[in-house]
């Protein structure tokens, strides 16, 4: 049940996003579009409630409950980023808005970008760990919550990898092919089809 709900929430996220942006830019109903987008967090609340009910019913805390906590955590961290990214592309394609800007590729600007992405990943992992800890206490039985503790350890690994990547770009900044400076001049280049980097939502 929990896995099915995670899939439903993910599909629902993109459906609400598409409907909200279509109302905002195609139907010229910005307030209604914003109201639809504000419904996004309800999906995570439903998932949390369903997970709690499942655990309360005596279910063992397994990988599905851990995955639900991770999904909610990274949605909290990356949800607004993804909505903003999609909004920029939708506005450019359908409403004559300015072209989206590519994430910087080189130099200090790229390092700053990586630290921002790192902060989002760390936030998502910390939220997930807090939810997992809440689930462990909710279950109240170490034998039934081993999988939840294992997910917490995985989140520590995610934090470590995110920090290593950000530190790497800081100590060894990526340089442009021509061997130019490290100012990250590519940061302001418009790109109509740019993809977000490492946005896990």
Spell out the per-residue pLDDT of the chain, length 201, in tens. 789 999 999 999 999 999 999 999 999 999 999 999 999 999 999 999 999 998 888 888 889 999 999 999 999 999 999 999 999 999 999 888 899 888 999 999 999 999 999 999 999 999 999 999 999 988 887 777 899 999 999 999 999 999 999 999 999 998 888 765 544 444 444 444 444 444 444
Residue 179: per-residue pLDDT: 61
In terms of C-beta distances under 8 Å and separation of at least 24 residues, what long-range contacts does 92-101 make, across chains too? 92/192, 93/192, 94/25, 94/26, 95/25, 98/190, 99/190, 99/191, 99/192, 100/190, 100/191, 100/192, 100/194, 101/187, 101/188, 101/189, 101/190, 101/191, 101/194
C-alpha dihedral (38, 40, 41, 43), degrees to nearest 10: 140
pLDDT of residue 182: 46
Q: What is the model's pLDDT at position 198? A: 46
Q: Give the model's pLDDT for residue 111.
A: 95
Q: What is the pLDDT of residue 145?
A: 85
Domain segments of the chain: what residues? 2-175
């Amino acid at each position: 049940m929990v896995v099915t709900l995670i899939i439903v929430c993910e599909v629902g996220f993109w459906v609400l996003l598409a409907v909200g942006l279509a109302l905002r830019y195609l139907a010229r109903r910005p307030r209604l579009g914003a109201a639809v987008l504000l419904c996004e967090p309800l999906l995570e609340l439903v998932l949390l409630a369903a997970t709690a009910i499942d655990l309360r019913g005596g279910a063992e805390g397994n990988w599905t409950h851990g995955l639900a906590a991770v999904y909610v955590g990274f949605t909290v961290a990356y949800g607004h980023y993804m909505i903003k990214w999609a909004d920029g592309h939708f506005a450019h394609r359908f409403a004559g808005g300015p072209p989206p800007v590519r994430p910087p590729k080189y130099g200090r600007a790229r390092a700053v970008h990586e630290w921002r992405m790192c902060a989002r990943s760390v936030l998502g992992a910390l939220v997930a760990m807090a939810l997992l800890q809440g689930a462990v206490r909710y279950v109240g039985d170490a034998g039934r919550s081993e999988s939840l503790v294992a997910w917490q350890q995985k989140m520590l690994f995610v934090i470590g990898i995110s920090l290593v990547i950000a530190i790497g770009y800081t100590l060894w900044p990526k340089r442009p092919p021509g061997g130019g400076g490290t100012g990250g001049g590519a940061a302001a280049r418009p790109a109509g089809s740019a993809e977000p980097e490492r946005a896990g939502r």
